[in-house]
Amino acid sequence: MITWGCQMNVYDSARMTDVLRPLGYTPVADPAAAEMIILNTCHIRDRAAEKVFSELGRLRLIKDEREAQGRKTVLAVAGCVAQAEGEQILKRAPYVDIVLGPQTYHRLPEMVAKAARAGGSVIETDFPAEQKFDFLPEAEAPQTVENVTAFLTVQEGCDKFCSFCVVPYTRGAEASRPVASVLAEARRIVASGVRELTLLGQNVNAYHGEGPDGGTWALAQLAYALAEIPGLERIRYTTSHPRDMGDDLIAAHHDLPALMPFLHLPVQSGSDSILRAMNRGHTADDYRRLVDRLRTARPDLALSSDFIIGHPGETDADFEATMQLIRDVGFAQAFSFKYSIRPGTPAAGAPLQVKEALKDERLYALQALLREQQDAFNDSVIGDVAPVLFTGHGRKPGQMVGRSPWLQPVHVDGPADLVGTIRPVLITQRLSNSLVGNLVEECVPA
């Protein structure tokens, strides 16, 4: 299983592994040892398809070599490139046996059987009427770091149609899993030792799942129910849309200590005219006010965001408005990207595309500011005692690594049995993207 792209792909790969296990397949590290190779792909930005074709060229050599030795090898392409470019893949890489979009993973065993029987290629990129989660087997404990943290998809797809984005086309319409199925999976995952759960969705805070009471539950209600699970110490969710940040969810950040004080809340731009062109449905000031309300509810809340530089029509003044928003809000961490044309999306054909050189210049300035803010945020916890959830071994011998409530990696010298526990750590030093500290004895609230 080769996984590219977002956390949801990581989760999906684990679920594809689960669905194949009853057929006798188990994951291996080396593609040359694999009877089936699944490439789980991402289509969000530039050159996604080219990257897939070049990887397929490499995998073809492995497949050919194995088959020359009489060992059959099934080659499958999954994920968002499969969804968007399925026909192209079969045309340009006819040695691919299976192409499957993200909504068809439950049909994988059937496709494997078909490919074996017919010998030809099988393609499934429809959006089936049935929900794949109703047909996928129960999730095994997900293979994350030492089984301490895990992802759980609760919502998928998007109806927002931002001008630049392929997700509504590759992942399909917004759909939420029923509450009972989410809670059951969460309980199983926690029983296997996981202490921190990250709920996933392309618009996770638009979650509206069928509740056990027959009503529709929002993400906030789900969070309160999850917080009741004994042993589940930390809850996160990603990715959120500012428009779906309801009062109930903001209140949950105040009420639930398990809801971690770190929120990825992409704003994309700080210019009202670009936000309008992007079809984001809110202004820069709406975002500022939302952040204020979140910080009132949970004063230690830190924010993370995504930014797009050079959306069609972005002027110097628009870019400056983005810089101003960043200065006003202050981000603990952020991802920033140059706008990249995605065929079939509204912005792709828009006039006033921004020149690459100008995008480079703006991105450089923006990333310098974000880096300053990230360093300042990491510096601000030096001298504090923070509760660290230990996830595994650090790079140096005798060193263990964990994560703070704000998702900062923290290294300490300590014994291996720290893994899976939350311990108070005195933060002493900042490295470029992580922190160093010492275990301390006193108890601090999580």
Q: Which is nearer to ligand SF4, 163 or 378 (CB)?
A: 163
- Least separation in angstroms between CB 220 and ligand SF4: 19
Q: Indicate whether 282 belongs to the interface with ligand 5AD (CB under 6 A).
A: no
Stretch that binds ligand SF4, among 12-20, 119-127, 158-166, 378-386 (CB under 6 A): 158-166
> According to CB under 6 A, which one of 218, 308, 326, 389 is a site residue for ligand 5AD?
308
Q: Which is nearer to ligand SF4, 123 or 165 (CB)?
A: 165
Sites for ligand 5AD among residues 240-269 (CB under 6 A) = 266, 268
Question: Which partner from the list ligand 5AD, ligand SF4, none does 203 bind, CB cut-off 5 to 8 Å by kind?
Answer: ligand SF4
Stretch that binds ligand SF4, among 28-36, 129-137, 162-170, 368-376 (CB under 6 A): 162-170
443 is in an annotated binding site: no
Give φ, ψ of 278 to 5 degrees. Answer: -80, -10
- Least separation in angstroms between CB 342 and ligand SF4: 10
- Least separation in angstroms between CB 139 and ligand SF4: 23
- Least separation in angstroms between CB 45 and ligand 5AD: 5
Q: Indicate whether 202 belongs to the interface with ligand SF4 (CB under 6 A).
A: yes
- Least separation in angstroms between CB 44 and ligand SF4: 8
Q: Indicate whether 165 belongs to the interface with ligand 5AD (CB under 6 A).
A: yes
Spatial separation of the C-alpha atoms in residues 196 and 310, rounded to whole Å: 36
Q: Indicate whether 165 belongs to the interface with ligand SF4 (CB under 6 A).
A: yes
At 143, which amino acid appears?
Answer: Q
- Least separation in angstroms between CB 295 and ligand SF4: 23
Q: Indicate whether 44 belongs to the interface with ligand 5AD (CB under 6 A).
A: yes
Q: Indicate whether 197 belongs to the interface with ligand 5AD (CB under 6 A).
A: no
Q: Which is nearer to ligand 5AD, 63 or 342 (CB)?
A: 342
Q: Indicate whether 342 belongs to the interface with ligand SF4 (CB under 6 A).
A: no
Which two three-digit tokens encode residue 431? 């490295």
Sites for ligand SF4 among residues 42-101 (CB under 6 A) = none
- Least separation in angstroms between CB 199 and ligand SF4: 16
Spatial separation of the C-alpha atoms in residues 419 and 377, rounded to whole Å: 26
Spatial separation of the C-alpha atoms in residues 239 and 264, rounded to whole Å: 6
Burial 77-98 (b: 16+ CB within 10 A, else e): bbbbbbbbbbeebbeebeebbb
Q: Indicate whether 43 belongs to the interface with ligand 5AD (CB under 6 A).
A: no
3-state SS string for the chain: CEECCCHHHHHHHHHHHHHHHHHCCCCCCCHHHCCEEEEEECCCCCCHHHHHHHHHHHHHHHHHHHHHCCCCCEEEEEHHHHHHHHHHHHHHCCCCCEEECHHHHHHHHHHHHHHHHHCCCEEECCCCCCCHHHHCCCCCCCCCHHHCEEEEECEECCCCCCCCCCHHHHCCCCEECCHHHHHHHHHHHHHCCCCEEEEECCCHHHCEEECCCCCEEEHHHHHHHHHCCCCCCEEEEECCCHHHCCHHHHHHHHHCCCECCEEECCCECCCHHHHHHCCCCCCHHHHHHHHHHHHHHCCCCEEEEEEEECCCCCCHHHHHHHHHHHHHHCCCEEEEEECCCCCCCHHHHCCCCCCHHHHHHHHHHHHHHHHHHHHHHHHHCCCCEEEEEEEEECCCCCEEEEECCCCCEEEEECCHHHCCCEEEEEEEEECCCCEEEEECCCCCCC
Question: Which partner from the list ligand SF4, ligand 5AD, none does 160 bind, CB cut-off 5 to 8 Å by kind?
Answer: ligand SF4
Sites for ligand SF4 among residues 207-236 (CB under 6 A) = none
Q: Indicate whether 241 belongs to the interface with ligand SF4 (CB under 6 A).
A: yes
Stretch that binds ligand SF4, among 1-9, 121-129, 159-167, 354-362 (CB under 6 A): 159-167
- Least separation in angstroms between CB 203 and ligand SF4: 6
Q: What are the residues binding ligand 5AD (CB under 6 A)? A: 44-45, 164-165, 266, 268, 306, 308, 337, 339-340, 342
Question: From the annotation, which residues make up the binding site for [4Fe-4S] cluster?
Answer: 6, 42, 80, 158, 162, 165
Q: What are the residues binding ligand SF4 (CB under 6 A)? A: 158, 160-162, 165, 167-168, 202-203, 241
